[in-house]
């Protein structure tokens, strides 16, 4: 209460304050028949008794007529609630304040929605009136917890481990590869700035500059269009260190998260488990596995190799051919036929992958199109290989390794959603399973042209020390020194050891990626002036906080987020500007040009 004229907040009065005169400021949350109201501020709620005697008639009239969500000042005496009227659900539930004087500081007009967490509101309405939505308990809690976590992170990095907090520019130039960047026009004809998708180049240049340990709560920008649960502007905890290896970065981040982790979410255990990209793909069908539940992908290719099943033999005859399956516990009990059909259709439409189901009947026998090709002994071996129990359902896929794994990985998550919707708890919402995924490929074939390569992450990632020679002979086989941090099946961080040799960086850009290295001439030149070995990581702050508070969307942990389509519905941005405003930037909008041409003709 320092620096302000209130004596207390609405969340702090207790029995110990009985008899004291207090001054409270807040919003009227609720008012009942001119008898009492509930006053709310950032910290909580206090019940205010409206005086009924003639001497306080003006106070009664003022408070009884003030609309809900009006801002008021109330001065009064703290009194105990009458016996039996205490409210154990309210921290201030043992007391109330009898109003002596009051003032309506600002009256509230008719609200577009009620300020209550349990009232359903459309996403668009919440975004349009975000300043009202921010008054809800949940958003207040989310933003305050976010602030506390960031403050703890600063303490850990700057005060305990000597990191330097440096702001890097947000007006820069295009970076080859990676996500699409926002363009910002300049007054030089035809020249544009770009908003950086991350401070990647600057943090490497800070290492060349000898800062040794850099940290920033960094604003980042990506023009990714309409992608669910993504934001065009977002926040990273950005970190870079000199003379460090992968294990050093991982230990730092584990310590950082342990130090800043909110007490009310329990404790987290370090070190975090680690698995390679290949293991993650083979066992979970994704590079960001949710390890809170089982249903791992099982390879049954060797077992079925001895069978006479034609589609299995066809699949295994191809390079990287495989047969894999997932076992759904109690699938018969929890999944309907339409669910199984929907899962099969999903694999077909998303991955062009056929799926066959196997059901374990109550008598232990199998029901499947496969069984006519398998003898009793083989069926028994199959049950053993998949660890099937009565009422389990197995989904089997045959084909190219990556496609089969990706399809089954997606079905594993879809099935978990279906089982949980039917009442089976698979993923503990209070559990936090961190995981490092390492040894990613350094390059991947381009989707639009598989004969060309692109960086799996970004072009500054160093090759795995054991694979350096392959960079020059067979780059497709090179593993990278990239590492991702995964939490409950969500990527919450990613980083790498960087290339610190100008020669190697130039080779990657020009020979492997076929990029114009001139765009990065400043970085390449910097690497020639004694660049130290360095590496770093960036944690996605929005995603991390949303998982900690179990928010349905990252928009619920950002004060003023953009909509699904990247619009600010409150301020109506982006917006049109006049041709006169565009003139200094040497820009004309094409539809305006077309309009002018039409007028000429």
Long-range contact pairs involving 102-107 (C-beta distance under 8 Å, separation at least 24): 102/59, 102/62, 102/63, 102/72, 102/73, 102/74, 102/75, 103/62, 103/72, 103/73, 104/62, 104/66, 104/70, 104/71, 104/72, 105/25, 105/71, 105/72, 105/73, 106/70, 106/71, 107/66, 107/67, 107/70
* Residue 572, in any domain of the structure: no
Show which of 555, 581, 596 is a domain's final residue: 555
- Do 365 and 298 belong together in one domain? yes
What CATH number is associated with residue 72?
Answer: 2.40.50.140
User: What per-residue confidence (pLDDT) applies to 170?
Assistant: 96
Helix (H, G, I), strand (E, B) or coil at 568: strand
Phi and psi for 351 in degrees, rounded to 5? -125, 0
Q: What is the pLDDT of residues 54-66, one digit of tens each?
A: 999 999 999 999 9
Q: Is the pLDDT of residue 229 over 80?
A: no
Closest CA to 311 of 232, 397, 248: 397
Q: Which of 11-15, 128-132, 159-163, 584-588 shows the lowest mean pLDDT across its residues?
A: 584-588
- Do 147 and 179 belong together in one domain? yes
Q: Give the pLDDT band (50/70/90) at residue 225.
A: low
Average pLDDT score over residue span 562-566: 89
Average pLDDT score over residue span 232-248: 97
- Do 400 and 436 belong together in one domain? no
Phi and psi for 539 in degrees, rounded to 5? -100, 135
User: Is the separation of the CB atoms in 13 and 78 below 8 Å?
Assistant: yes
* Residue 573, in any domain of the structure: no
- Do 400 and 452 belong together in one domain? no
User: Is the separation of the CB atoms in 255 and 153 below 8 Å?
Assistant: no
- Do 238 and 318 belong together in one domain? no
User: What per-residue confidence (pLDDT) applies to 601?
Assistant: 60
- Do 330 and 250 belong together in one domain? no
* Residue 488, in any domain of the structure: yes
Q: Is the pLDDT of residue 339 over 70?
A: yes
* Residue 281, in any domain of the structure: no
- Do 475 and 402 belong together in one domain? no
Show which of 361, 388, 420 is a domain's final residue: 420
* Residue 287, in any domain of the structure: no
* Residue 567, in any domain of the structure: no
Q: Give the pLDDT band (50/70/90) at residue 226.
A: low
User: What per-residue confidence (pLDDT) applies to 231?
Assistant: 93
What CATH number is associated with residue 349?
Answer: 3.30.1360.30
Q: Is the pLDDT of residue 314 over 90?
A: no
Which of 213 and 180 is assigned the larger pLDDT? 213
Q: Is the pLDDT of residue 574 over 70?
A: yes
Compute the distance between CA of residue 498 and CA of residue 516 in angstroms, rounded to an integer: 19
* Residue 35, in any domain of the structure: yes
- Do 82 and 177 belong together in one domain? no
Cis omega (within 30 of 0) for bond into 553: no
- Do 362 and 411 belong together in one domain? yes
Average pLDDT score over residue span 237-243: 98
Q: What is the pLDDT of residues 152-204, one digit of tens each?
A: 999 999 999 999 999 999 999 987 766 789 999 999 999 999 999 999 999 99
Supply the DSSP symbol for 418. Answer: H
- Do 263 and 301 belong together in one domain? no
Q: Give the pLDDT band (50/70/90) at residue 47.
A: very high
Q: Is the pLDDT of residue 491 over 80?
A: yes
Average pLDDT score over residue span 358-376: 89
* Residue 357, in any domain of the structure: yes
Structural domain tally of the chain? 3
User: What per-residue confidence (pLDDT) applies to 228?
Assistant: 65
What CATH number is associated with residue 146?
Answer: 3.30.930.10
User: What per-residue confidence (pLDDT) applies to 397?
Assistant: 96
Give the CB-side neighbour count of residue 60, counting CA atoms within 13 A: 10
Average pLDDT score over residue span 297-316: 87
Q: What is the pLDDT of residues 393-449, one digit of tens each?
A: 999 999 999 999 999 999 999 999 999 999 999 999 899 999 999 999 999 999 889
User: What per-residue confidence (pLDDT) applies to 549?
Assistant: 96
- Do 222 and 325 belong together in one domain? no
Write out the residue range of the structural domain in which residue 99 sits: 13-104
- Run of H or E residues at 38: strand 36-41
What average pLDDT is seen over the chain? 94
Long-range contact pairs involving 19-24 (C-beta distance under 8 Å, separation at least 24): 19/77, 19/78, 19/79, 20/77, 20/78, 21/75, 21/76, 21/77, 21/100, 22/75, 22/76, 22/77, 22/78, 22/97, 23/73, 23/74, 23/75, 24/48, 24/73, 24/74, 24/75, 24/97
Average pLDDT score over residue span 194-221: 97
DSSP 191-219: -EEE--SSSHHHHHHHHHTT--EEEEEEE
Show which of 420, 450, 481 is a domain's final residue: 420
pTM: 0.93
- Do 213 and 178 belong together in one domain? yes
User: What per-residue confidence (pLDDT) applies to 142?
Assistant: 98
CA 331 to each of CA 79, 115, 336, 588: distance values in angstroms, whole numbers, following the listed order: 59, 42, 9, 60
User: What per-residue confidence (pLDDT) applies to 230?
Assistant: 86
Q: What is the pLDDT of residues 520-549, one digit of tens each?
A: 999 999 999 999 999 999 999 999 999 999
Q: Is the pLDDT of residue 252 over 70?
A: yes
Q: What is the pLDDT of residues 385-404, one digit of tens each?
A: 899 999 999 999 999 999 99
């Amino acid at each position: 209460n320092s620096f302000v004229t209130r004596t207390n907040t609405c969340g702090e009065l207790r029995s110990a304050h009985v008899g004291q005169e207090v001054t409270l400021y807040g919003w009227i949350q609720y008012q009942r028949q001119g008898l009492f109201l509930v006053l709310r501020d950032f910290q909580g709620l206090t019940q205010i008794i409206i005086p009924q005697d003639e001497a306080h008639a003006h106070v009664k009239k003022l408070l009884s007529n003030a609309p809900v969500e009006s801002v008021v000042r109330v001065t009064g005496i703290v009194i105990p609630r009458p016996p039996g009227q205490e409210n154990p659900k309210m921290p201030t539930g043992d007391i109330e304040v009898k109003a002596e004087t009051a003032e309506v500081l600002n009256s509230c007009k008719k609200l577009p929605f009620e300020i209550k967490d349990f009232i359903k509101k459309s996403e668009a309405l919440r975004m349009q009136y975000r300043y009202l939505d921010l008054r809800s308990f949940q958003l207040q809690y989310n933003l305050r917890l976010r602030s506390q976590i960031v403050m703890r992170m600063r303490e850990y990095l700057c005060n305990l481990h000597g990191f330097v907090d440096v702001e890097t520019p947000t007006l820069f130039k295009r970076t080859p590869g990676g996500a699409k960047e926002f363009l910002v026009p300049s007054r030089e004809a035809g020249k544009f700035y770009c908003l950086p998708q991350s401070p990647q180049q600057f943090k490497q240049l800070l290492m060349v500059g000898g800062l040794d340990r850099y940290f920033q709560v960094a604003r980042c920008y990506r023009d990714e269009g309409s992608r669910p649960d993504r934001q065009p502007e977002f926040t990273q905890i950005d970190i870079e260190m000199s003379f460090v290896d992968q294990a050093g970065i991982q230990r730092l981040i584990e310590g950082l998260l342990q130090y800043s982790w909110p007490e009310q979410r329990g404790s987290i255990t370090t070190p975090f488990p680690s698995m390679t990209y290949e293991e993650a793909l083979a066992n979970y069908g994704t590079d960001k596995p949710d390890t809170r539940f089982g249903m791992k992908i099982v390879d049954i290719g060797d077992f079925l190799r001895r069978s006479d099943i034609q589609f299995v033999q066809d699949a295994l005859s191809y390079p990287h051919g495989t047969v894999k399956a997932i076992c759904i516990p109690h699938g018969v009990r929890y999944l309907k036929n339409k669910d199984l059909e929907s899962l099969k259709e999903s694999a077909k439409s998303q991955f062009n992958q056929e799926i066959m189901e196997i059901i374990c009947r109550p008598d232990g026998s199998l029901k499947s199109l496969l069984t006519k090709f398998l003898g009793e002994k083989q069926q028994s071996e199959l049950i053993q290989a998949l660890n099937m129990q009565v009422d389990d359902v197995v989904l089997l896929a045959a084909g190219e390794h990556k496609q089969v794994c990706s399809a089954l990985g997606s079905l594993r998550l879809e099935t978990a959603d279906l089982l949980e919707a039917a009442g089976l708890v698979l993923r503990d919402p209070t559990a936090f399973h961190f995981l490092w995924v390492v040894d990613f490929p350094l390059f991947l074939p381009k989707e639009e042209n598989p004969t060309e390569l692109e960086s799996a992450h970004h072009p500054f990632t160093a090759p795995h020390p054991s694979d350096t020679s392959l960079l020059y002979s067979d780059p497709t086989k090179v593993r990278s020194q990239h590492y991702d941090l995964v939490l409950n099946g969500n990527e919450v961080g990613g980083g790498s050891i960087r290339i610190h040799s100008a020669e190697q960086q130039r080779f990657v850009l020009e020979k492997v990626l076929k990029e114009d290295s001139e765009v990065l001439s400043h970085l390449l030149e910097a690497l020639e002036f004694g660049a130290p070995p360095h590496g770093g990581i960036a944690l996605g702050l929005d995603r991390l906080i949303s998982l900690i508070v179990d928010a349905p969307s990252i928009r619920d942990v950002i004060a003023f987020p953009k909509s699904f389509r990247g619009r600010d519905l409150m301020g109506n941005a982006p917006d049109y500007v006049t041709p006169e405003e565009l003139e200094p930037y040497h820009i004309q909008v094409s539809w305006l040009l077309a309009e002018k041409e039409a007028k000429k003709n």
